[in-house]
Amino acid sequence: MSVTLPTALEIGNAILAAQFSTTIAKTETLPINMNEFPLVAIMSMLSHGAQRKFNDATGGADKSAAEKVSIAKAMIADFKNGVVAKRGEGATTDQLDARKAMRSLMSRADVKTLNEMEPVAQIKKLDELIAANADIVAGVVADNRAEAARVAARNAGLVGKVKISL
């Protein structure tokens, strides 16, 4: 399989357009819109997320250290090839954007219920909801992409104007 690596601009645009959420103490889901954070915070979240992704996948007292390292190495190799779930190829940008849009259309209670599901069940449920609401989701995705492009263009115009002292 051949994987096309994204450009720095594509990565930056994708990160700035990303919308996540976190449910705290199973009581409140808080939005995390990456375009609202400074670079240092974004890098901290990405670093922590990358570490957690692989540590969580290899956790458990039932595995030896060698087994955990082997699992992590195989998973990293899969990720480098675009395989982010063993059910098949990694999700496309369109699928990821549609899933984010669908989440944004859900009530807090529905998001909470969704977040309590196993990851594979979450994806399956989101994809079912997207299929049932295809026209609405497509419109939200288009709006989100237009907004992300607007923000990226604005930010690109500010490069070089920002006073930075490192």
User: pLDDT by residue (tens digit) across 91-115?
Assistant: 677 888 888 899 999 999 998 998 8
Q: Is residue 1 pLDDT above 60, yes or no?
A: no
Q: Which residue has the higher pLDDT, 165 or 127?
A: 127
Q: Is residue 2 pLDDT above 80, yes or no?
A: no
How close are the terminal C-alpha atoms of the chain, in Å?
Answer: 41
Pair of tokens at residue 84: 């982010």
DSSP state of 35: G
What is the number of alpha carbons within 13 Å of residue 25 lying toward its C-beta? Answer: 2
- Which residues touch 144 (CB under 8 Å, ≥6 apart)? 17, 19, 97, 100, 101
- Residue 105 CA to residue 109 CA, distance in Å, equals 12
Q: Which of 41-50, 86-95, 106-115, 151-160 comes out lowest in average pLDDT?
A: 86-95
**What angle, rounded to 10 degrees, do the helices at 8-17 and 134-158 form?**
120
φ and ψ at residue 149, rounded to 5 degrees = -65, -40
Q: Which of 31-40, 49-58, 78-87, 133-142 comes out lowest in average pLDDT?
A: 78-87
Let me know: does 126 contact 103? Beta carbons within 8 Å: yes
- Residue 125 CA to residue 162 CA, distance in Å, equals 43
